[in-house]
């Protein structure tokens, strides 16, 4: 079991998270249920924040990439840890603001921000808009002009670094839909364009090379390219960026094919980035920029588990054994999307040895609705409580009402006590926006 997490097996042989017995949580709150460990989330926010403080004299800010898990409580935690957040839509921005998150510490991302989202962002006083296209620069300039403000912006550049991770979640290749490519000159052209806009205050660059990355070299290479770009723009346009945002992407443990990183490892990733920034600054004679990083998955991923109750079990002799749970792709679409491999354990018999490999199926009418295949487990029985680990990132945030299933609620565990941070959806909630035209009544 993962070292950093507060997951353990208690005297009853039950899985425990953050000091709370998972079987009791399932009984009290029902299943499917997302469970988040507050201490873990805070610990990861602090690792990054404190490393920036101690190794970079605090000249930077950690932005929690809230698309990984967005709800009011998580913004409240980020606020209390004195970090910033990034948001990628009007909905995330609304959630952050309604949790009382300070607008000036919000960074707004997105490859196709809507005009209405940009109006909302500028009107709310969002600290920084990260520009991803020239038409967006036009829109922000116009909106800021009408409001009589000068909007702080960064430009998303694409340094062309290929991170070795799942192809579907790579974002910084030259064929990416994100950012301006450095190699074909469009990033430099975008700088020139943005600098010509009188209601935009360009501060620097953003890059994000992908997600679930373990290669330190990929991050370092990206930093070097961004710093080289900074120097070249300084030379050609006489503009020296004072802010560099290096994005997120640090990997987490999902299964034993992946390394189990310790807090120290995350600290070391950040130190490697910081050292690369410093040495490139010296090489090019640049001032040390204000440094931003945007971890999402690594803050909440391993902080979360999902609890299910086992229902139907179907053994197709010699072929496959299906164990169906009361959730599925509507609470965790990542297997269906990327064949993501998770680890599952029986929360009520957590000490028992794994004796079989099963496919865990959801309850949606879709044969691809699986949580995983060939997952080692003890002999599973109907009524068992199944825990799927590392579901804190990109599970709730990607959930849907497919088949009109209710999106499961989420509880936050703190010192053994759990409370709702997202209430259960009711059937009433599901039909809330449905209308029947008069002529059909
Ligand atoms: C998704 C994303 C992140 C967070 O990535 P993780 O892999 O969850 O750390 C950070 N920045 C941007 C711009 C993103 O799109």
Q: Measure 224 CA to ligand 1 centroid, in angstroms.
A: 19
- Which numbered atom of ligand 1 lies nearest the CA of 296? 8
Judge if the beta carbon of residue 21 lies within 6 A of ligand 1: no
Judge if the beta carbon of residue 67 lies within 6 A of ligand 1: yes
Rounded to 5°, the CA angle 249-85-241 comes to: 75
> Is 148 a residue whose pLDDT tops 80?
yes
Averaged pLDDT, 81-93: 98
> Is 348 a residue whose pLDDT tops 90?
yes
Bridge partners, 321 (sequence order):
315
Percent of the chain clearing pLDDT 70 (strictly above): 96
Sort strands 106-108 and 320-325 into parallel, antiparallel or unpaired. Answer: unpaired
Residue-by-residue DSSP string for 194-235: HHT-TTEEEEEEE----SSB--HHHHHHHHHHHHHHHHHHHH
Residue with tokens 């992946």: 258
Judge if the beta carbon of residue 211 lies within 6 A of ligand 1: yes
Residue 295 CB contacts under 8 Å (≥ 6 apart), including other chains: 44, 48, 62, 64, 65, 248, 249, 250
- Give the burial class of 354: count Cβ atoms within 10 A of its Cβ; 0-12 exposed, 13-18 middle, 19 or more buried: middle
Q: Measure 62 CA to ligand 1 centroid, in angstroms.
A: 12
- Which numbered atom of ligand 1 lies nearest the CA of 109? 13
Please say whether the beta carbons of 231 and 239 come within 8 A.
Answer: no
Q: Is 79 helix (H, G, I), strand (E, B) or coil?
A: helix
Q: Measure 399 CA to ligand 1 centroid, in angstroms.
A: 18
Residue-by-residue DSSP string for 234-260: HHHHS---SEEE----B---SSTTS--
What's the mean pLDDT when you consider all of the chain?
A: 95
> How does residue 102 score in pLDDT terms, banded at 50, 70 and 90?
very high
Question: Could you tell which of 41, 44, 45, 65 is best to mutate to test the pocket of ligand 1, judged by most ligand atoms within 8 Å of the CB?
Answer: 65
Q: Is 48 helix (H, G, I), strand (E, B) or coil?
A: helix
The pTM assigned to this predicted structure is 0.96
Q: Measure 17 CA to ligand 1 centroid, in angstroms.
A: 26
Q: What is the pLDDT of residues 149-167, one digit of tens each?
A: 999 999 999 998 877 654 4
Judge if the beta carbon of residue 295 lies within 6 A of ligand 1: yes
Question: Could you tell which of 214, 249, 304 is best to mutate to test the pocket of ligand 1, judged by most ligand atoms within 8 Å of the CB?
Answer: 249
Buried b (16+ CB within 10 A) or exposed e, 39-69: ebbbbbbbbbbebbeebbeeebbbbbbbbbb
Q: Measure 270 CA to ligand 1 centroid, in angstroms.
A: 15
Catalytic residue IDs: 365
> How does residue 56 score in pLDDT terms, banded at 50, 70 and 90?
very high
> Is 46 a residue whose pLDDT tops 90?
yes
Nearest-Å Rg of the Cα atoms of the chain is 23
> How does residue 177 score in pLDDT terms, banded at 50, 70 and 90?
confident
Question: Could you tell which of 248, 293, 298, 340 is best to mutate to test the pocket of ligand 1, judged by most ligand atoms within 8 Å of the CB?
Answer: 248
Residue-by-residue DSSP string for 139-168: HHHHHHHHHT--EEEEEEEE-----SS-GG
Q: What is the pLDDT of residues 193-243, one digit of tens each?
A: 999 999 999 999 999 988 898 888 888 999 999 999 999 999 999 999 999
> Is 245 a residue whose pLDDT tops 80?
yes
pLDDT at 209: 87
- Which numbered atom of ligand 1 lies nearest the CA of 251? 7
Q: What is the pLDDT of residues 370-381, one digit of tens each?
A: 999 999 999 999
Q: Measure 16 CA to ligand 1 centroid, in angstroms.
A: 29
Q: What is the pLDDT of residues 283-305, one digit of tens each?
A: 999 999 999 999 999 999 999 99
Judge if the beta carbon of residue 296 lies within 6 A of ligand 1: yes
> How does residue 178 score in pLDDT terms, banded at 50, 70 and 90?
confident
């Amino acid at each position: 079991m993962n070292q950093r997490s507060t997951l353990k097996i208690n005297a009853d042989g039950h899985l425990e998270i953050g000091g709370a017995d998972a079987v009791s949580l399932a009984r009290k709150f029902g299943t499917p249920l997302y469970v988040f460990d507050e201490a873990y989330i805070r610990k990861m926010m602090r690792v990054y924040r404190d490393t920036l403080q101690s190794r970079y004299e605090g000249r930077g800010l950690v932005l929690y990439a809230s698309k990984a898990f967005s709800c009011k409580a998580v913004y409240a935690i980020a606020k209390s840890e004195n970090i910033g957040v990034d948001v990628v839509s009007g909905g995330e921005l609304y959630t952050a603001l309604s949790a009382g998150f300070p607008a000036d510490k919000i960074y707004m991302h997105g490859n196709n921000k809507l005009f209405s989202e940009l109006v909302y962002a500028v009107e709310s006083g969002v600290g920084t808009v990260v520009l991803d296209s020239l038409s967006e620069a036009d829109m922000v300039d116009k909106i800021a002009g009408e409001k009589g403000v000068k909007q702080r912006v960064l430009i998303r550049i694409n340094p062309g670094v290929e991170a070795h991770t799942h192809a579907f979640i790579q974002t910084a290749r030259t064929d990416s839909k994100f950012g301006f490519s450095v190699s074909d000159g469009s990033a430099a052209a975008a700088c020139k364009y943005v600098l010509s806009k009188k209601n935009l205050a360009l501060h620097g660059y953003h890059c994000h090379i992908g997600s679930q990355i373990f290669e330190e070299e990929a991050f370092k290479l990206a930093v070097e390219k961004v710093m080289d770009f900074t120097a070249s723009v300084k030379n050609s346009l006489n503009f020296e960026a004072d802010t560099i945002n290096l994005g997120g992407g640090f990997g987490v443990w999902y299964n034993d094919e992946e390394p189990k990183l310790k807090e120290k490892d995350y600290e070391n990733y950040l130190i490697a980035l910081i050292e690369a920034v410093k040495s490139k600054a010296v090489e090019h004679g640049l001032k040390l920029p204000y440094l931003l990083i945007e971890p999402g998955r690594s803050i909440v991923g391993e902080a979360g588990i999902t609890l299910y109750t086992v229902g139907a079990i179907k053994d197709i002799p010699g072929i496959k054994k299906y164990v169906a749970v009361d959730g599925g792709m509507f609470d965790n679409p990542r297997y269906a999307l990327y064949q993501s491999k998770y680890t599952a354990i029986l929360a009520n018999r957590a000490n028992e040895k794994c004796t079989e490999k099963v496919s865990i199926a959801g309850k949606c009418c879709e044969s691809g609705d699986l949580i995983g295949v060939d997952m080692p487990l003890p002999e599973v029985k109907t009524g068992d409580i199944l825990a799927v680990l590392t579901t804190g990132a990109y599970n709730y945030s990607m959930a849907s009402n497919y088949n009109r299933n209710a999106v499961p609620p989420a509880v936050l565990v703190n010192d053994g006590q759990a409370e709702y941070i997202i209430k259960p959806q009711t059937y009433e909630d599901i039909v809330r926006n449905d209308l029947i035209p008069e002529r059909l009544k």
